Amino acid sequence: MVQGSRVEIVHQALRRAIVEQALEPGAKLPEDAIGERFGVSRTIVRRALERLAAEELVAMQPNRGASVVAPTLEEARDLFEIRMELEDVVVRRLCGRLTAAQIERLKSAVAGEQEAHLQRRRDYIRLSGEFHVILADMTESPMLRRYLRQLVWRSALVLRLHGRPDWEDCNVHEHHALIAALIAGDVEQCRRLMAAHLRAVLTRGLKGGGARSEPSLWDILAVYAAPT
């Protein structure tokens, strides 16, 4: 396996662990321990961490190493306000313009999200965010893609740090409603639904969840280092 591929594998695995809230905000990410778990050198790990730092999911400090970022409550509210503005642009661009293939892709994504929710799987959080990433991809705007990906993945850290959604609360019906409005071509309804959905996500996410005990970094990464 070439070095670039190894960097990508570690980068993607660590990002998933962060987005799925397996790794806590503020968690230390020692290069040697991660390298041992993935069977790669510290150089590979460092490059993967640098990519995550560019995505603002990891903070790297001289002589202190890397750690998962921990957004403040003020940053959390700013993040969702910016998301609302950008996702408003997304739905206005897509409303009434989705192809049959795009509609099927969105419905398939929501079906996967619903299955993960019903099974109470950790990847529900990531899949819920990926719905928004898919919408941004469909605009074919490199700028919207780049910024929304970063904001969506960072949102997972906000929800974990300041209180994660209850399992009884679910985004799935809101995503179904968004798809229906996009198909119908009702721009104002799309905008209202997206704004209400993001406000609801923030409200559910910030209502508190309490602390929980966490396994070791070695045990957490075992899932993400396993061959796929």
Residues paired with residue 60 on neighbouring β-strands, in sequence order: 66
- Other beta carbons within 10 angstroms of residue 222's beta carbon come to 12
Evaluate whether 24 touches 68 at the Cβ level (below 8 Å): yes
pLDDT tens digits along 160-197 = 776 555 544 567 899 999 999 999 999 999 999 999 99
Residues paired with residue 61 on neighbouring β-strands, in sequence order: 65
Catalogue the E-assigned strands of the chain.
Answer: 58-61, 65-68
Q: Report the half-sphere exposure of 207 (CA within 13 A, side-chain side).
A: 9
- What is the distance between the alpha carbons of residues 45 and 62, in angstroms, rounded to a whole number? 16
Domain extents for the chain? 3-70+211-225, 73-205
Evaluate whether 111 touches 127 at the Cβ level (below 8 Å): no
- What is the distance between the alpha carbons of residues 211 and 84, in angstroms, rounded to a whole number? 28
**Looking at residue 209, what is its pLDDT?**
46
- DSSP code, position 164: P
Confidence of residue 205 (pLDDT cuts 50, 70, 90): low
Catalogue the E-assigned strands of 64-172.
Answer: 65-68
**Looking at residue 72, what is its pLDDT?**
83
Mean pLDDT of 99-118: 95
41, two tokens: 């050198």
**Looking at residue 125, what is its pLDDT?**
83
Please provide the average confidence, as pLDDT, over all residues in the chain.
Answer: 86
Confidence of residue 2 (pLDDT cuts 50, 70, 90): low
Q: Which CATH number fits domain 73-205: 1.10.8.60, 1.10.1370.20, 3.30.2420.10, 1.20.120.530?
A: 1.20.120.530
Confidence of residue 90 (pLDDT cuts 50, 70, 90): very high
**Out of 28-32, 130-134, 209-213, which region has the weakest mean confidence (pLDDT)?**
209-213
- β pairing state of 65-68 and 58-61: antiparallel
Say what the alpha-carbon torsion angle 224, 58, 163, 159 is, to the nearest 10 degrees. Answer: -80
**Looking at residue 4, what is its pLDDT?**
64
Pure H helices in the chain? 3-19, 31-38, 42-54, 73-94, 100-118, 124-138, 142-161, 172-184, 187-205, 217-225
- What is the distance between the alpha carbons of residues 117 and 131, in angstroms, rounded to a whole number? 14
- What is the distance between the alpha carbons of residues 55 and 15, in angstroms, rounded to a whole number? 10
CATH code for the domain defined by 3-70+211-225 = 1.10.10.10
**Looking at residue 134, what is its pLDDT?**
97
- Other beta carbons within 10 angstroms of residue 66's beta carbon come to 23
pLDDT tens digits along 113-134 = 999 988 988 788 889 899 999 9
- Could you give the angle at which helices 124-138 and 3-19 cross, rounded to 10 degrees? 110
- What is the distance between the alpha carbons of residues 14 and 31, in angstroms, rounded to a whole number? 12
